[in-house]
Structure 1
Amino acid sequence: MKKILLSIIMVAFTFTLVACIGGERGQGGGGKLVEWYELSPDTEFDTETPVTIHFWHRMGAANEEMVTKWVAEFKEMYPNITVVLTKAGADYNQLAEKVSLSIPAGNTPDIAESYPDHISRYAIAKAPLALNNFISHPTLGYSEEELEDFLPSLWAEGTSYDNEGTILSLPFTKSSEGFFYNKTYFDQHSLNGKTYTELVEAGLTWETLFEIAQDIKSREPEAIPFGYDSEDNMFITGSKQWGAPYTGYNAETGRGEVLFNNAQSKEMIKYFKDKVDKNLMLTRTLNAEAFTSDIFKNGEKLYMYVGSTGGTRYAYDASSFNKGVRVGVAPLPHFEGKERAQIQQGPNINLFKQDNEQRMIAAWLFAKYMISAEKTAEYAIPSGYAPIRYSAYETETWTKYVAGIKENPTTLAEAQNKLVKEAIDMFRNNGDIFFTSAVFNLSSKTRTEVGPLLVKIFSYKATSAEDLNTYIDREYQNTYNFITN
């Protein structure tokens, strides 16, 4: 019954996740990406024999401290399970590289933080553990009600690897991007008879955003009003919103395709380059690798930016708060008359095949513990990552947090708490516009390269429109060739 339910849920999802691996996917490319582990319905977990499992992550100190507390709590539940936490990289790419190297060496962790692109690399070696029979297990798995408790789009990401419904990851700490703005400043200034804040609340378009930016520039010539932290996300989300192909899945050939080298994408890039050239916007790399949120809160004439909701607290610091700055958050701007869309992000967790079945069950039990309603609510509050289960919003942890929100904060902590809740509410209320891009053997490399491509074009000092077009054509082709060859 549970397997049937999973199929029903897949059909009901509000967006399609396209994916393939090694250039191929699912039915058109040979069935299951990874064979489902045959966990017998009669299998039980041995609570007596000691077992050690390893969880590799890239968390910062505060989040690692929280998970360390979870490990101690889990140990009280299962005294024979020892969980070893290892910070295996300073960022997701470093972590993925270390995991990739562990596969041929035969010393993979039991659990790792992961993005779908990373898991697609691991799956070339058939290393990830397919979780379908763990999920549907009568005693170790999830009930129908528990499956329905997960936010559908977040659960769907774990099934995006083939056409057979193979589940290779579980949602963990999920986020999107948010449009953060200096609400104090936006309340004080108007355009076309409406305050900037009213324009944001009405549903901001890119066209209106840059009208606001130009209006700010007319008063403050030294300002660069808008920033975007992630060039990768800007390219991918901009492509989706503009209607420009980025990557995709060819149903006829059963292969993933790199598609960004097209006229629509180049027009989208030129739209934003024009704003960079007019000093209306910058990106993190153009800001010497400093987050644009740092300029925003330091009062250096940047009044709005796009950044991860997982970093919501960084929109404030004591100095900006004490100067009276209050921050608002909204969905990303969209192009007038075009699709609203913004990227779904944040790591999942995946498990790896091991020779010892009890070890895999122990890892599964700890994974379930980490994504329980109480724990996902607990993780969200200090970070801005959204709880991944409906019931998380009904836990005492979450309801107590919400009850303590001050509409007119008088301390930095109160202001941060208010903004985190608003960012999570924005995430919850806009699930229909979130998307993920295709997952296949070149998808990770494509994402890694389109960000630098965007920066090159933004930085180029063209002598004419023809010169710019020639440069863009050449750099697009060079990047495409580097990815696909």
Structure 2
Amino acid sequence: MRNRLLKFRSLVFLSSIAYVLSAAPIAVAQQSAGEKTTIQFWHYFGGDHIKTMKEFIAEFEAQNPDIKVEPVFQGRPNELSQKLQSSFATTPANNPAIATVYENWTSDYVAKGLMDPVENYFDGTDGLSKEEQADFVATFREANTWNGKWTTMPFNKSIYVLYVNMDRLKKAGFTTAPRTLSELKEAVIKCTERDGARVKTYGIGVNPQSEAFTTLYYAAGGEYLDAQNNPIFANPTGEAVLNFWRELQFPTKHLYVTTDYMDAPFGNEMIAMFIYSSASFPYNERSVKNKFEWAVAPIPAMEGKEPRYLMQGTNIGIFKNRPENERKAAWKFLKFLTSPKNCVTWATRTGYMPIRYSMLKDPRMIEYMEKNPRYAVAANLVVSNKGKQEPSLAVWEGIRQDLSRMVDDVLNRNADPKKVLEETQKKTAERLQRAQGEKK
């Protein structure tokens, strides 16, 4: 027993040393005059996305011949996260200069002193004026700020919307997409078609995951945390959201519940509606193939509430432990990527949401939105500051998993909404308390 304890203490000591070394600045020789600065950019982009990114990099390098950008694909986001964590833990650390990061990752990195806030570069030679800063959508400025300092730059962003088969909706007696939660419930019921005991078309498809709760909860004006970061979602609004789903599933099923993507069942008319990210636009286009008229609409709100709409996606951050010349080059590249011109190119090629207000004045963007009215619906929600991000907490991924189990229990096991809400809020409080204790 004693030997095991000594081994454990040794491992803890070695791990602590590794962490301290990984968080410390990397010692490198001074850059020689005329030497090219190389920065690595870790990401998860594939397909057309990385093709566009490589075009950006080629243009940037042509304008800045003293800088070379090496894009490194690191798999899916969870794989990228794991590889970043491993890169910080090695001795010496071998992390990149910049990477795509989610807010909850950034919270962890900030706590460990790993981030070089982009605000540090706003007043420099290649800075960002006050007018340029204000051009970024307020929701994203807030979500990229830690400890009062703008830390990372928004990049690929999406917003959740309601996808609707308008032919099915009209057949059920509706002329427009539902605008309120009660209208949505009525539409789901009326759009469900049965052939005896078999359901031919479900009124709506839903993934048994946290977003099924968060999207409707935000659209009902809900908040997860109070000003002191205490969880407050076990409330009448949260209960009403879970009851909405439960009453459409028990005793009579109107919901197509699956963990798969919804574009295929939507295109096959297995479902009349679903709620999902705007990133689904191109997949729905390919799945529907003009078989029916479909539209997108804001997620229906709870009557009398001010709705907000869930936004997700990654930002790009600079890591503090890289040499100064790399960090300055990284900022220069990051400023180039998020210029209005390149933001428009990125949005119109990928379907991601605008991150700057001025983008909507660009002739290319105006033309794109005219040709893509569904995209325009989502984009206008973003620039109207209607988006809302999930809390930027390092422990949020664990909380999302708890929320997903809560939703799954309601949809698949007819759990009592009030009970599971209270249990999940208790777990959330415990996670937050543990995280706070670890900081001390």
TM-score normalized by the length of structure 1: 0.74
Aligned-partner residue type, residue 253 of structure 2: N
The structural deviation recorded for 1:450 is 1.0
- The answer as to 2:153 corresponding to 1:170 is yes
User: What is the distance in 1 between the residues matched to 2:424 and 2:107?
Assistant: 27
1:345 aligned counterpart, secondary structure? strand
Query: In 1, are the aligned partners of 2:246 and 2:410 still within 8 Å (CA)?
Result: yes
User: What is the distance in 2 between the residues matched to 1:214 and 1:98?
Assistant: 46
- The answer as to 2:43 corresponding to 1:57 is yes
User: What is the distance in 2 between the residues matched to 1:247 and 1:46?
Assistant: 50
User: What is the distance in 2 between the residues matched to 1:358 and 1:472?
Assistant: 50
Q: 1:469 to 1:374 in 2, by over 3 A?
A: closer
Structure 1 unaligned runs (5+)?
A: 1-36, 38-44, 191-195, 251-255, 406-416
Query: In the alignment, what sits opposite 1:94?
Result: 79
Identity of matched residues, %: 23
2:104 aligned counterpart, secondary structure? helix
The structural deviation recorded for 1:482 is 6.6
Q: How does 1:240-259 map to 2 (within 5 A)?
A: 240-242=218-220, 246-250=224-228, 256-259=229-232
Q: How many residues align?
A: 399
2:163 aligned counterpart, secondary structure? strand
Query: In the alignment, what sits opposite 1:294?
Result: 264
Q: How does 1:364-375 map to 2 (within 5 A)?
A: 364-375=331-342
2:315 to 323, 348, 357: 348
1:279 to 238, 246, 253: 253
Query: In 1, are the aligned partners of 2:144 and 2:150 still within 8 Å (CA)?
Result: yes
Range that drifts further, 362-371 or 374-383: 374-383
Aligned-partner residue type, residue 200 of structure 2: E
Q: 1:188 to 1:244 in 2, by over 3 A?
A: closer
Query: In the alignment, what sits opposite 1:456?
Result: 409
RMSD between superposed Cα atoms in Å: 2.9
User: What is the distance in 2 between the residues matched to 1:245 and 1:442?
Assistant: 17
Q: 1:453 to 1:482 in 2, by over 3 A?
A: farther
User: What is the distance in 2 between the residues matched to 1:157 and 1:383?
Assistant: 22
Q: 1:470 to 1:330 in 2, by over 3 A?
A: closer
User: What is the distance in 2 between the residues matched to 1:211 and 1:378?
Assistant: 40
Output one character per residue of 1:390-437: Cα deviation in whole Å (capped at 9) or x when no partner. Answer: 33233353245356x2xxxxxxxxxxx443344323433x42x32223
Aligned-partner residue type, residue 265 of structure 1: G
Output one character per residue of 1:456-483: Cα deviation in whole Å (capped at 9) or x when no partner. Answer: 2211146xx7xx7667665665676577
Range that drifts further, 234-243 or 376-385: 234-243
Aligned-partner residue type, residue 54 of structure 1: Q
Output one character per residue of 1:312-345: Cα deviation in whole Å (capped at 9) or x when no partner. Answer: 1222226x3343x122111111112223121122
- The answer as to 2:278 corresponding to 1:309 is yes
Query: In 1, are the aligned partners of 2:343 and 2:355 still within 8 Å (CA)?
Result: yes
User: What is the distance in 1 between the residues matched to 2:422 and 2:137?
Assistant: 41
Query: In the alignment, what sits opposite 2:374?
Result: 419
Query: In the alignment, what sits opposite 1:158?
Result: 144
Q: How does 1:395-474 map to 2 (within 5 A)?
A: 395-402=362-369, 405=371, 417-428=372-383, 430-431=384-385, 433-461=386-414
Q: 1:242 to 1:151 in 2, by over 3 A?
A: closer
Q: How does 1:171-210 map to 2 (within 5 A)?
A: 171-190=154-173, 196-198=174-176, 200=178, 204-210=179-185
Output one character per residue of 1:105-134: Cα deviation in whole Å (capped at 9) or x when no partner. Answer: 212221111121110011121001122220
Aligned-partner residue type, residue 313 of structure 2: G
The structural deviation recorded for 1:218 is 5.8
Query: In 1, are the aligned partners of 2:369 and 2:375 still within 8 Å (CA)?
Result: no
